Amino acid sequence: MNVLLDYLPEFRDGFLGTLAITASAALLALVLGVLIAGFRVSPVPPLRAFGTAWVTVLRNTPLTLLFLVAFFVVPQILFQGASPYVLGTLALGFYTSSFVCEAVRSGITTVPLGQAEAARSLGMTFSQTLRLIVLPQAARTVIPPLSSIIIALTKNSAIAGAFGYGELFNVSKLLNDRGYPIAWIFLWTALAYLVITFAVSGLFRLLERRLEVAR
Amino acid sequence: MSGASVLYDVPGPKARARNRVYSVLGALAVLGLIAFAVLRLDAKGQLDPKVWEIFNYAGVRTGIRDGVLTTLQVFAVAAVLSLALGLLLTVARLSDHQPIRWLATGFIELFRAVPLLITIYALWVVLLSNRDALGLTGSQPQFWALVAGLTVYNGSVQAEVLRAGINAVPKGQREAAYALGMSKTQVMTTVLLPQAIRAMLPTIISQLVVTLKDTSLGYIITFEELLYTARLMSTNIIVNGNDTYIPVIIVIGSIYVAMCLALSALANWIERRGRRARTGIEVAPAAEPVAAADAAEGAAAPAGTKD
């Protein structure tokens, strides 16, 4: 019980660390995911192939392997001396982007055909159709799966702790090393994750209600 | 496919010309990325034939083979146990006795909400500190912590998938079975579960892909599965003064991707076959459920016969 009170600063730092890496990885995943989804529905074959390869490879690779790549290969061939925060964000963001891409792509298919047809008959180009007509409408159907993806991302961020980034898993390991009973550490960490995931799903439900539109 | 046709017409001559230009530019951009990666790898001496020769050594090959076998072993045990647990939790969650229902719901919600790594780690610590009492030796604490963690997490998810499947069975089936005088157990085992499992098989197998990928968490609790073996090999084998992370990771990554793709292909094949049959129960899509909540919602939605 008193493990939480004794180590409140550590728990707080871990909590904030989890929040920080989840947020930055989510941002990276959203940007990359929407971009790759655009590739996958574009009329340009090489980009479509690139998008397909991206999703296939990243979705079928264990996240732990991506972390290994980020922490041992990326510093070797790209930039040396990047912090665990940056490398962890890269691994989590790239992995999650493939799920975001698939969610966005299936969201695009739910937009009624007539919408894109009308946009084209007004003389809009592909990118205008996508940007102004289809994506804003697709966004609404994408919100529920996106919420699940972000929650999964929050839980996946625990792996960053195993690679030396200070977040909740990292803190539980630290406190266990100091001899505190694992059951209490487990319960408090579980509670912390519950707080984050509830907040995320609440936020997305709010967003969903705001953007709701009769179709 | 359908996504593409929504966004653009069959291109005319002008659009075709433009698309060709974009294709060339896109191809150049993609090739440029690949070339950049290759050049960087080359600059670091990672494309030297000597680096890749390590796979000619019997030791490296047996290492990889043993890693694959250990991974498959963990996967097999965890898959069977998680399916059994999932079945048990589903039945418990649909039980008529409130305490059992509550217990099952609490179990499912707790283990779905906690990151799998933290569950595995906690189990590992518990098993390690009770190692002698439990009679575990060698790497058995790691093995069982990994298997137990995978089982409780994926069992909880599979339970939600199965529950969605049972909810998708038309109500009349259950009513007809009771009308015939079947007992609760009979209704569940001979009427509801077979249909639910059949409808949910693609999603169940897709969740097994997740289980297979998650075996790599064993790396973090120092269990010698494929990833850990790879890590050990790449730090130990030094070529030209460099560790051999890059070639080993490329090979190991391809093995993981191939294993997962084979399993996903099975899920897709079953989905296609299921669509052919006319049972009146919608077959769940084979897409990987990102989170369990997603699986339950996504599966229940198309069937539309929730009660």
* 3-class SS letters over B58-87: HHHHHHHHHHHHHHHHHHHHHHHHHHHHHH
Dihedral Cα B141, A164, A170, B158, nearest 10 deg: -60
Q: Report yes or no: B39 at the A interface, CB cutoff 8 Å.
A: no
Distances (CA, A) of A109 to A32, B3, B6, B7, B76: 19, 5, 7, 9, 36
Which of these, A159, A131, A154, A156, lies nearest to A201 by C-alpha position?
A154
CA distance A67 to A89: 10
Average pLDDT value for residue range A166-191: 87
DSSP helix/strand/coil, A123: coil
Nearest chain B Cα distance for residue A45, angstroms: 6
Which amino acid belongs to residue B247? P
- Residue B137 class from Cβ within 10 Å (0-12 exposed, 13-18 middle, 19+ buried)? exposed
The pLDDT assigned to A214 comes to 58
From the number of C-beta atoms within 10 Å of its C-beta (0-12, 13-18, 19+), residue A8 rates as exposed
Bridge partners, residue B77, by sequence = none
| Residues facing B238 on adjacent strands | B243
Say if CB A174 and CB A10 are below 8 A apart. yes
With 0-12 / 13-18 / 19 or more C-beta atoms within 10 angstroms meaning exposed / middle / buried, residue B49 is: exposed
Cα angle A7, A8, A11; round to 5: 90
Structure tokens at B178: 């009771």
Give the residue among B289, B255, B283 at the shortest CA–CA distance from B269: B283
Q: Answer yes or no: are the C-beta atoms of A200 and A147 closer than 8 Å.
A: yes
Residue with tokens 């969903």: A208
Q: Tokens in use for A209? A: 């209600």
Decide if A1 touches B, using CB distance below 8 A: no
CA-based torsion, B204, B208, B209, B213: positive or negative: positive
Taking an 8 Å cut-off on Cβ atoms, the answer to whether A189 and B114 are in contact is: yes
The residue among A137 and B150 whose pLDDT is bigger is: B150
Does B122 sit within 8 Å of A193, measured CB to CB? no
What value of ipTM does the predicted structure carry? 0.88
Is B185 in contact with B110 (CB distance < 8 Å)?
A: no
Distance (Å, whole) CA B293 – CA A59 = 19
Determine the pLDDT at residue A15: 92
pTM, two decimals, is 0.87
Q: Quick one: pLDDT band at residue A141, thresholds 50, 70, 90?
A: confident
pLDDT of the residue at B175: 93
B242 bridge partner residues: B239
pLDDT, tens digit, 9 for 90 and up, residues A50-93: 999 999 999 999 999 999 999 988 888 877 778 899 999 999 99
Is beta strand B242-243 parallel, antiparallel or unpaired with respect to B238-239? antiparallel
Report yes or no: B165 and B199 within 8 Å, Cβ to Cβ. yes
Q: How far is A210 from chain B (nearest CA, A)?
A: 21
**Residues in chain A, overall count:** 215
Contacts with B, A 66-105, CB within 8 Å: 68-69, 72-73, 76-78, 99, 102, 105
Look at residue A213 in the predicted model and tell me its pLDDT.
Answer: 66
Q: Which of A153, A150, A14 is nearest to A91 (CA)?
A: A153
pLDDT of residue B134: 84
Contact in structure between A138 and A107 (CB atoms under 8 Å): yes
Chain B residue with CA closest to A114: the answer is B6
Give the count of alpha carbons within 13 A of B35, CB side only: 6
Q: Which of residues 216-235 of B touch A (CB under 8 A)?
A: 216-217, 219-220, 227, 230-231, 234
pLDDT at site B234:
87
CA torsion angle for A23, A26, A27, A33 (degrees, to 10)? Answer: 180
Q: Which residues of chain B have pLDDT under 50?
A: 1-4, 292-307
User: In the predicted model, what is the mean pLDDT of residues A18-44?
Assistant: 93
- How many Å apart are CA B193 and CA B182, to the nearest integer? 14
Q: Do B22 and A183 touch (CB under 8 A)?
A: no
> Who among A73, A108, A151 is closest to B246 (CB)?
A73
β-pair partners for B243: B238
Q: Which of residues 125-154 of B touch A (CB under 8 A)?
A: 125-126
Nearest of B206, B161, B198 to residue B299 by alpha carbon: B161
